[in-house]
Structure 1
């Protein structure tokens, strides 16, 4: 560890209790995407008490603040996510919600970074600026609720980072980083140790978000079922058709389709006239996602046609595939090793996750890296998830991100400038990216019948 890194460690340790208190407070006050006002208010008060001026998102939770070094150079963004999951069976669930993906730890670590940057000599030798971004709605959940927000004009995009991009809150940012939590057993080193401090992969899947609504006709379920059209059966048939497509998905595309039935809104003695489904189509590239999504929509439509039902298909841009720049990754790996040692760090430059994150939208337009930090047990998104060592997941996460910022922006930011110059983003600008994903939007009444019962089918743009 260098003298400079030791200074960073000391600065973070000075504000350690602030970090640990924030982790527990946010854990105890979980809220899901675009409703995280409690955490927003708590953190805004803490940042302002530290002397920061905040640029708030406005009618949604979240804000950013810029830390200026006083010298020109690149702008590096660091993210901390606000949202929890709706998972009512977790033993510490609050109003049906729990932070069982560890976003509370991210927000606590980011607050610690903000506090550490106020310590003496924290910005010595650096140029450029650091944008600390407190962002909502990473989890792609509650799709019907988010569609309501979209229809009301409150949001345009389901993901918080994508929405921040749209609102101009990432304008001027040149590169980005964040640390996400992981559980014991998520990765393993060459000695078989599964309790690692840091891990990273090359990237992860993107996705399209789907709302599907089957439309039938209600009737008495016992006395006159022949008078009805069972929307639940049509939905079940549609999902079976999609399951039968799975062998056509190529392994190189890492396609995932995981629907959930939202339930019939009628009594048990009524033929259900409506069944809603939420799902994603995930994949390794936007091209593969679009191709396989057409097949899925065709299967869903065919099932409706076979039952004489209707089906409304509503597709929205989800998240882009996330790609970590290998040079940026290597710098991050070196920082993790400097803090925790070689054996506690595993970076896989070919590894790929089939999960998704809106950090992928960011990496479409700038170099970025997302690191995973240990300190939790159980299952991510599971009812057994617990943060058992916040020193590792929060305090160490703050330290390693400050190591990385220091490596990027010291020496006239020569390292940051090299990474930025050599990175080949998928899209030349945020506007170009948003224009491209807008083309994924689809709203189709996919089966329509004439007075003779003949059908017109239309399931794609």
Structure 2
């Protein structure tokens, strides 16, 4: 028996892997973006029913969020899943050239089809283990929509979904197998809408007050601010409404969407206020009016040393995923579409030296490797401010594959993806079991959490009263 199968909890994962890889493939084939994940949610609901979980629908008032729970009494461990796709990344599976299934359609460019399926696979294995052993405890699968800019977990936190949870476990597809470095940026996404006065741009320009001018001046001000903000901060913007296509009309309305990121929540709030003042200044200069609306927001990740060490022990016990010759051949064809910079960056992000000739992960990244280059944001960060949280990285694609790319979508139904997903499920299940078996591990995680949070009040970056940006119904 190989070391990949010498544990009862791993057997429980293996016994179910065909069901869950098939579910992942079905979700891959019907990609749905923020808060439209009805087919994916239905797939998860059906599997929760098959497994016998107690099910809660429309969690936190989010129609495509779902939760399943099993077990009684004892500590509560939640395993988080996701299943939203990205717009504009449609791609056929299994080929190493850009070829959309449907031009302009969505695609699973972050591997969330795998993320949700792998997380539920781990939860199902633990469910059976709890039932067989009689160990007190509850396992909870939380199916989360809209991670890609929708911040669904932040709304869940605001609604108290995690108040009775002792530990949160999650994972994310990646090029390497590792404990996720707990580094991310806090963020807010805010829509700024300017209102002016329309007029004939030639006959009576003096009567007009251009909302588009205000947007442009706001962007100039934000760009000048870049020199005077923390080096870890990031600001991005997109013009949402330019006021129309007629240049002979002074545009009476225009809007711009800003994504503001900072190293931590306490740095984010003042940065957001500075951007708001720039918007107000632009409105003052153009004699227009501005209003802003928070769309979403994420906290930065709070690490947890005991949980990370516990998960690392499971990685080292299990070893890396085992890929076959066909997996390596496909990975090489994908890598032929990448640059050396892409490949090098994949190693750098995990703090390990590059092995430029390695197509697929064959090692476990050391826990001390750290990371921090190429930092993004995640709504798991908000959860980590209220519950001790740990995440795995599962090796599910060729090393060097950029996130949010057609190359990643192309690998989403491959043997690489399936093997990496099952491997990650084993890590999560073994970590959860170690916590249930030894409550001292939970106590140690809580102590570390309280130490890190001491003197750092949590303010949800999604204010009270802000509702999710649900897509408008067609028709």
TM-score bin, normalised by smaller chain: 0.7 to 0.9
* Alpha-carbon spacing, 1:110–1:309, altered in 2? closer, same or farther (3 Å): same
**Residue 380 of structure 1 corresponds to which residue in structure 2?**
403
* Alpha-carbon spacing, 1:20–1:262, altered in 2? closer, same or farther (3 Å): same
Match of 1:285 among 253, 256, 264: 264
**Residue 62 of structure 1 corresponds to which residue in structure 2?**
65
**Residue 131 of structure 1 corresponds to which residue in structure 2?**
140
TM-score (ref. length: structure 2): 0.77
Which aligned pairs between 1:293-312 and structure 2 lie closer than 5 A? 293-312=272-291
Structure (1 or 2) with the greater strand fraction: 1
**Residue 344 of structure 1 corresponds to which residue in structure 2?**
364
Structure 1 position 171 matched with structure 2 position 194: no
Which of 1 and 2 has higher RCO (CA within 8 Å, sep 6+)? 2
Unaligned runs of 5+ in 1: 142-158, 185-195, 442-461
Which aligned pairs between 1:356-371 and structure 2 lie closer than 5 A? 356-371=377-392
Task: Report the Cα offset of residue 24 of structure 1.
Answer: 1.0
Match of 1:210 among 154, 175, 190: 190
Q: Distance in 1 between matches of 2:44 and 2:464?
A: 36
Match of 2:211 among 228, 231, 236: 231
Partner deviation per Cα, 1:389-445 (whole Å, 9 max, x = no partner): 12343111111101111111114x2222322244217779xxx8567863797xxxx
**Residue 261 of structure 1 corresponds to which residue in structure 2?**
239
- Determine helix, strand or coil for the equivalent of 1:281: strand
Match of 2:302 among 317, 320, 323: 323
Tell me if the contact between 1:127 and 1:410 (Cα under 8 Å) persists in the aligned partners.
no
Partner deviation per Cα, 1:271-297 (whole Å, 9 max, x = no partner): 322111112211112221111222222
Q: Distance in 2 between matches of 1:165 and 1:339?
A: 33
* Cα RMSD after superposing both structures: 2.9
Task: Report the Cα offset of residue 41 of structure 1.
Answer: 1.1
Q: Distance in 1 between matches of 2:428 and 2:103?
A: 30
**Residue 79 of structure 2 corresponds to which residue in structure 1?**
78
Q: Distance in 1 between matches of 2:208 and 2:90?
A: 36
Q: Distance in 2 between matches of 1:410 and 1:371?
A: 20
Structure 1 position 220 matched with structure 2 position 200: yes
**Residue 10 of structure 2 corresponds to which residue in structure 1?**
9
* Alpha-carbon spacing, 1:114–1:84, altered in 2? closer, same or farther (3 Å): same
- Determine helix, strand or coil for the equivalent of 1:315: strand
* Alpha-carbon spacing, 1:50–1:125, altered in 2? closer, same or farther (3 Å): closer
Stretch deviating more after TM superposition (73-82 or 383-392):
383-392
* Alpha-carbon spacing, 1:435–1:374, altered in 2? closer, same or farther (3 Å): closer
* Alpha-carbon spacing, 1:64–1:83, altered in 2? closer, same or farther (3 Å): same
